[in-house]
Chains A and B, each alone.
Chain A
Amino acid sequence: MAAHEILAATNAVVTLDVALPGIVWPWLVTVNMWAKSIGTGVIFMLFMLLRMHPESAKNLRLTTALVAFVFINIFLLFTLADLHQPFRMWHIFVYPHWSSAIAVGSFMASMFLGLLTLLSFLAFKKNDVLFDKVLLWTTVLAIPVTLYTASLMAQSTARELWQMPAESAQMILAALLAGSAAMILLGGNKLSNEARNTLGVVLGLSALMAFIIYMSEYIFGPMKAEEIAATIAYIKGDGPYAVMFWIGQWMTFILPMLFIVLSRVSKSDAILKLAAILALVGLAIVKHVWLMIPQLLPMS
């Protein structure tokens, strides 16, 4: 149990209180964030590949649009499932409160899904010219769709760990990491070596930057605020999420970075794919730990 800054002289102990609420946002929200990272990330990657390696990426339009469509639907489904009153979801569109990241995000995600549906249709009809025009606006919209969860976490005033702009950076990096990893797996033999290398660089650099931010928060966060120190204690030492935190860091960031270097040296596609799989699975673990630990802290 977190017990920070308790003076030995006071020896203060809670002797009678109500049971505190358990986890408020459970694993459903983890899946929400994970699926959204993939759904927006593959759009970023398709946009990049069509400009840098058009020959290699031209056959990925339909597959990418469908994958993004599926994962954004998973994201919306789990968002809905997490509501305690899911049949009132329509209230957001009728009574929107524009100061809320949830309301703004719901509108943007709905528009994004509409554009993905259009992209899938255009790709199916092989209308590449119009597809690429719509893709530009879809990519632009993917940025705030990715970021709004960070805004939501920042609006959670009670959870000191989730600070802006660190969460924004982590959301974008998660989308780049998940998008590049998913494209490495999706592209298969359709991708040229150069295109695979580019995706490997995006995966490796986003893993490196995200890892640096997590480590910065891990080391320096506790020096800034009492609540962050108490929260980080859950992933330090024998904290309940310490093992899961480090499994996530190794799977998502450290091992993929090493494997990407190894794959470039040995020109091994299999090692690159292994890095991509580890990053995708690990991202869910990393997100889950970061979602859970602030919720363990007693608020009152």
Chain B
Amino acid sequence: MQLGFLVDLHLCMGCKGCEIACKVENEVPLSTWRLRVKYVDVGTFPETKRTFTPLRCNHCENAPCERICPVSALHYLENGIVNIDKERCIGCAGCVMACPYGAIYIDPQTQTADKCTYCAHRVASSMMPACVVACPVQANIFGDLEDPTSNISKYIQVHQGGVQVRKPEKGTNPHHYYVGGGNVTLNPLASHRVDGHSLFNNITTLPVGGHH
């Protein structure tokens, strides 16, 4: 079994339901996120468009975080999930430095690394990840990539050339796919990130792990 994720960006409407569901399910502390939805506005008024991109751990086949972790706190599960053992983590932040997707954070409460685990605890009980359940438009598709009859495999078969991953040049082989993505949505360097002028806040950076 090789679990994977696919997000159809054509369907996502940026409601952030997945983000909230993840926060609640995994008790993710304030100032940190396992899953977030980034808004990027494209165009010049009046010809403008808003894009939404859910961003989470890519559960890479060749995960740099797993490789760099000195104590195997980050490890593969048999179903392909890159899981984390917070009790073993020493908080060296090597994984934070290694992850090309910025998907790992230092939990300010436990001072250990943490990230999306595809809700491994729910999957172990044959439930879907919280974000999948919360999505009102079924933009999140989750399943076994090795099973050709799974929803995710069928989706990939139907969309073929339209399926993308983030930063393929890194050689990480992500198990997280996007349909309907483009340079603007998947490449963080393809959009302006104006300091202090986001819609709802003017905080641009946060101290890693709180007050370290």
Contact = CB atoms under 8 A, between A and B. Distances in A.
A226 B55 CA distance: 21
Interface residues of B, number: 62
Given A157-B64, A299-B99, A85 B70 contact: no
A130 B204 CA distance: 58
A227 B64 contact: no
Interface stretch (A21-29, A37-45, A47-55, A278-286): A21-29
Given A84-B111, A89-B90, A16 B189 contact: no
Contact of B193 (A14, A91, A95, A295): A14
A155 B99 CA distance: 10
Contacts of B121: none
The residue in B97, B184, B203, B212 that gathers the most chain A C-beta atoms within 10 A of its C-beta is: B97
Contacts of A159: 97
B38 A300 contact: yes
Given A15-B41, A19-B31, 10 more contacts: A17-B198, A22-B207, A86-B91, A97-B69, A100-B69, A102-B94, A157-B100, A158-B99, A159-B97, A300-B103
Contacts of B99: 157-158, 299
A25 B194 contact: no
A129 interface: no
B174 to A, nearest CB: 12
Interface string A1-43: 1111111001111111111111111100000000000000000
25 contacts: A1-B195, A6-B190, A10-B43, A14-B39, A14-B191, A16-B39, A16-B200, A18-B36, A19-B201, A21-B102, A22-B208, A24-B97, A84-B90, A84-B93, A86-B90, A97-B72, A99-B67, A102-B92, A156-B64, A157-B64, A157-B100, A297-B189, A298-B193, A299-B101, A300-B102
A19 B190 contact: no
Nearest to A298: B188
Interface residues of A, number: 56
Contacts, number: 197
Interface of B: 31, 33, 36, 38-44, 50, 55, 64, 67-72, 88-94, 96-103, 105-106, 111-112, 166, 170, 172, 184, 188-195, 198-201, 203-209, 212
A258 interface: no
